[in-house]
Amino acid sequence: MEFYKNLKFKDEVPKYIQVANFIKNLIDKRKIKEGDKLPTIRSLSKELGVNNVTIVSAYNKLKSEGYAYQKVGSGTYAKIKDVSSSFRKEYSRALKKISTKDLTEVVDFTGETTGEVLFPIDDLKYIINEVLERDGANALLSENRNGYTNLINTINKVFWNSKLNEEDIIIVSGAQQGIDIASKGILNINDNIIVEKPTYVGALSVFKWRKVNLFEVPIEEDGINLDKFEKILQKNKIRCFYTMSYFQNPTGISYSLEKKKRILQLAQIYDFYIIEDDYLSELIYEQSLDYIPFKWLDTNNRVIYIKSFSKIFLPGIRLGYLVAPTLFREVLQNSKHNTDITTSSLMQRALELYIASGRWKENIKYLNDEYIERYTYMKFILDEEFKDIITYIDPKGGLNFYLTLKDNMIDTKELFIELIKRDVYITPGAMFFTSQMYGQDSFRISFYQTDKYKIEKGMKILKEVLLDLTEKNNKK
């Protein structure tokens, strides 16, 4: 009851509305948690010095707005309002507005814009011209529905030492399409799947569209919590596990070798498959991380491997590939063909030449040099200026930091809204959970579209807004 002693009534607003708003604020800040029983009508009316009707009206308002529910004969209980749909729309609208602004003035910590392209455009022009001169009109034709044959051969040779069966490789239009194809190919309505908690919002959208049952397992510094993972496996028939093995989005964590091996063992024991989304493993900044994806360790054909080239080729050119377990080869090929028939032949040929000629290695080195500098600078600012405000797990690579507020007085959706007013954009943690009752105290910042100048500018504004919101909320 000590919370309610801080409520000071104002004359101009009806008391029942003030009581309801006060309780809503406590629920939003998680001082009152999901399922907590609210005080009885009689005890709260006595505590606040109001009549019973005021409390009844306040509780009815909370119930009508989704902040409370009633158990007959037991009382009224707090409910975390799930605002996922409305907020996702608000977030999407905000990002669309970025494109209408002068991007030189915007600090995009979401990484969603493409105002900066770190790719040698002259190389792209040269590669495309060379493809057109070499192949002529054939450059625009597709002779293999699974992808350009030479590209498939080059991927196998350069990245897999020719260890894959090339019939299992399918060229896709980026990782998002790969997830969609895998989902359509192996998941049916009401299948059970496990995802990391939190996880990539694009994958959540795909799985929800397939109407599957989602089980979330908390993620730790080296991968998911295996005890909780296996308990779910013991109680439920799981069809697949979706994972990002390197620089997981949003947390930035990478899986330890031990956890990869154990998860593969569990896949065989409990008969489920692994969708491995490998989208940033080229961007490893510290030698303590070794590149060993699940697929390299997959001796039982349990892994559907998805690789995107968007970050190392061109963001606007969606290209990647999927490696199908032989059992699912045909169904995943059909899923791809039903999705878009074929992927741009010209871009596939350009990508094949880019990889085969070795130019990709030069650009990867350039990207690593550039992003290491940004990563180091952002990490320095976090450690020096934000150490009393936030905590984070050092990703040691990738393009993001996932930050958690030490004081959870602030809802990061509110932080997002306030930062927009100053042309700084972040991604609130609630975007990465199946229910937005989670992630209120966390957010992701990316250095993908921010140079050192913008990092310094954006982090300064971020700290100012965080401190302002903390001060305001402490006064409430």
Give yes or no: residues 351 and 367 share one domain.
no
Q: What is the pLDDT of residue 199?
A: 95
Final residue of a structural domain among 325, 342, 357: 357
Asked whether residue 124 is assigned to any structural domain, the reply reads: no
Q: Is residue 98 part of a domain?
A: yes
Q: Examine the domain organization and report whether 177 and 317 are in the same domain.
A: yes
Structure tokens at 406: 């030490």
* 386 within a domain of the structure (yes/no): yes
Q: Are residues 351 and 247 in the same domain?
A: yes
Residue 369 inside a domain? The answer is: yes
Tell me the average pLDDT across 398-427.
91
What gap in Å lies between CA 155 and CA 158, rounded to an integer?
5
8 A C-beta contact, residue 311 and residue 278:
no
Residues 171 and 274 in one domain: yes
| The domain boundary residue, chosen from 357, 377, 407 | 357
Indicate the number of domains in the chain. Answer: 3
Residue 451 lies in a domain: yes
* CATH number of the domain bearing residue 440: 3.90.1150.10
Same structural domain, 276 and 406: no
List b or e across 257-285, with b for residues whose CB sees 16 or more CB atoms inside 10 angstroms.
Answer: eebbeebbebbeeeebbbbbbbbbbbbbb
- Of 357, 377, 395, the residue that ends a domain is 357
Q: What is the CATH number of the domain that holds 327?
A: 3.40.640.10
Per-residue pLDDT reduced to its tens digit, 19-36: 998 888 888 777 787 788
Alpha-carbon span 7 to 23, nearest angstrom: 10
Same domain, 290 and 367: no
Same domain, yes or no: 15 and 28:
yes
Is residue 423 a part of any domain in this protein?
yes
Whether residue 396 is found in the same domain as residue 268: no
- β-bridge pairing 75-78 and 68-71: antiparallel
Residue 83 confidence class, pLDDT cut points 50, 70, 90 = low
* Residue 174, number of CB atoms within 10 A of its CB: 20
| Same-domain check for residues 312 and 407 | no
**73 located within any domain:** yes
Residues 234 and 261 in one domain: yes
Return all residues near 64 (Cβ < 8 A) that are at least 6 apart: none
DSSP string, 94-127: HHHHHTTS-TTT-EESS----S---S-HHHHHHH
User: Which of 118-122, 185-189, 339-343 is the least confident region?
Assistant: 339-343
Which of the four pLDDT bands, split at 50, 70 and 90, describes residue 71?
Answer: confident
Convert the pLDDT of each residue in 122-138 to its tens digit. 888 888 899 999 999 88
The CATH code of the domain that includes 18 is 1.10.10.10
Q: Does residue 389 sit in the same domain as residue 432?
A: yes
Q: Within this chain, do residues 374 and 441 fall inside the same structural domain, yes or no? A: yes
**Mean pLDDT within 51-57:** 92
Residue-range definition of the domain harbouring residue 29: 2-78
Predicted pLDDT of residue 445: 97
pLDDT single digits (tens) 439-455: 889 999 999 989 999 99
Residue 402, in any domain of the structure: yes
Query: What CA–CA distance (Å, rounded) separates 305 from 175?
Result: 10
Question: Please, which pLDDT band fits residue 100 given cuts at 50, 70 and 90?
Answer: low
How many whole angstroms from its chain centre is CA 240? 18
Give the residue-averaged pLDDT of 130-152. 88
pLDDT of 408 above 80: no
